[in-house]
Amino acid sequence: MLIANSALSDAALMTALDTIRQKCASDPELGQAIACLGQYLIESTGIRPESELQISRQNSTSNPEVPSSIEPTEDTTQSQSQDVPSVSIHPPLDLSNLFSGKGRLDTVPIIPKPQPSGPAVHRDRLQIKAETCEWIIRKHLADQTGSTEEQKQLDLQMQKLREKAKSLGGGDVFWVCQPQARNRNEDLIRRLGRCYQNASRATNCVLRVMSPDEKRCTPERLHQAFSLLAEACSALKVAIRGLRPKPDTDQDALFHWIRYQTESERVFLQRYMRIDDDADPEQWSELQARIETFEKFLDEPEQAKRIRKQTFNVLDYHLKKILHDSGDDSAFQNHWKKITKSVEDLMTEQGVEPDDPSLRDRFIPILDRLPEQMEMSENLRKVFQSIDDYLSSQEEKKVAESDTTTDTPIQWSSLVLRVREVLENKSILVIGGAQRPGASMKLKQAFGLTEVYWPKQTEHVTSAYDFEHWVARDETGLVLLAIRWSAHGYNDIQHFCKQYDKPLVRLPGGYHPNQVAEQIFRQAGRKLGLDSTTDHQMSKYMQNS
């Protein structure tokens, strides 16, 4: 027989038990964990505390209205005395209030109803949390406007959300509604909601791929699905950290499920599975686009997927030829025709968007291999415009994250330094493409410019006339026309350059100062007053490079 430590007083034990009750009342997850532990110990040992049986008998004797919860029979009593040891607390304590849930805290019982578990449940709970974040944003707006009709709709929506959460076990689904989280920056709550939604949808993608009915569950497809989920789960963790230090139970359980499943399925994930490798929650929209692309793939019929894969294979072949083949003009034109047709098929017949990462990422490596003058279809121009917007956003992110206060001087080429002599303390106008903060800063530093004017292209800026006032400024010393990204109407800018006597340089490639300086030498060297010695240096530089 096991005897409790006699040094432990009844009061101390009651205090400890009461403290546990208080903790469980304020933290249902802790209550669930303790309840599960107790249930496991009872089921694994088959032993019922003798004191509990004694309490039940005392309760049934002292209070006839309370039925006995445990009424041992002669068989069970005999079985316990012969087969298993009894467990008692000596001296016996009056724990009736604790077992009946009527202690000093008139709250929920310390043994909550067991909650369901599994990735499907986490998926649904994450979706509820995403909808709750949107609810909070609408609630803030309704409170500001005082719309009673909107308030009624919000109350009805919250009632439905609570019913859904109750069917999934409750828990901390609505933690974001607590004042300390709800009153935080609205942008953080909106970002959190998007991250919750991405994690929910990525979980669903994994479950669909792993479904026994899914005939296309290849190792490649499984890796792609788990990669999306790992990134979404990591970004969600960072977004939660911005609102509270306590981890989210669904996110945490989902992360451990990913680790278990990837080890079981032998799927190696290079990113977002280490504590020091966090995904950026600010990139939720880019991740959302990739998840949507994967969802569309899963929704497509098998035949449509085969056709799309074949089209992408043709596109890859001709892009590779342009990247590695020598500059044969006739061969280039043939490859480019095939590329244009593949893009048209993908966008018009197979529903691929111009900003689809699977399309965009294929063209980025060949940007510097494209010739200065080439015909481009409207759909292909949309693809290149999306590439320009993407590169601009990535550059903005790098500039924001980099330390721009460094005093380390940059070693520019001799060509850059010569251009600096004629453009220093002047401004330049860049036409075409999305503004690149990093490129603007480098051009300004390299050529000693006072300003880089780079107007944003919009649907209202469609012709060269929209740039005339920039060309006419006295401080404008040069006009750069990014022909790869500019609209056809911008070519008329040369008329204003002649009118105001400003050099015009067509920029076929990137914005690096070395590339820009080279084009300035080629197209506007004499107009800028660069002497023959400099021209000779330029020719020598060209041969060496």
User: In the chain, pLDDT over 70 holds for what percent of residues?
Assistant: 70
Higher local confidence (pLDDT), 183 or 515: 515
Could you please report the per-residue DSSP string of 123-165?
A: HHHHHHHHHHHHHHHHHHHHHHHT-HHHHHHHHHHHHHHHHHH
pLDDT at residue 2 is higher than 50: no
What average pLDDT does range 190-195 have in this prediction? Answer: 95
- CA 201/CA 235 separation, integer angstroms: 14
- State pLDDT tens for residues 109-129: 333 333 446 899 999 999 999
What average pLDDT does range 252-277 have in this prediction? Answer: 91
Q: Crossing angle of helices 119-145/148-167, nearest 10°?
A: 160
pTM over 0.75: no
What average pLDDT does range 225-241 have in this prediction? Answer: 96
- Locate 43 and state its tokens: 């089921």
What average pLDDT does range 195-213 have in this prediction? Answer: 93
Q: What is the 3-state secondary structure (H, E, C) of 94-107?
A: CCHHHHHCCCCCCC
Domain residue ranges of the chain, discontinuous segments joined by + = 10-100, 119-298, 302-398, 414-544
21 phi/psi in degrees, rounded to 5:
-60, -45
253 phi/psi in degrees, rounded to 5:
-65, -35
Give the number of other Cβ atoms within 10 Å of residue 545's Cβ: 9
Contact 357, 283 (CB under 8 A): no
Q: Per-residue confidence at 478, pLDDT binned at 50, 70, 90?
A: very high
Contact 72, 50 (CB under 8 A): no
- Locate 195 and state its tokens: 């991250």
- CA 528/CA 538 separation, integer angstroms: 14
Instruction: Name the fold adopted by 414-544.
Output: Rossmann fold (3.40.50)
Q: Per-residue confidence at 190, pLDDT binned at 50, 70, 90?
A: very high
- Locate 234 and state its tokens: 């990591």
Bridge partners of residue 476, in order along the sequence? 427
Mean pLDDT of the chain: 76
Comparing CA positions, the residue from 485, 453, 489, 484 lying closest to residue 471 is: 453
Contact 38, 116 (CB under 8 A): no
- State pLDDT tens for residues 77-107: 443 434 433 333 334 444 444 444 444 434 4
What average pLDDT does range 536-543 have in this prediction? Answer: 47
Cα 126 to Cα 129, 245, 268, 271, distances in angstroms: 5, 18, 25, 22
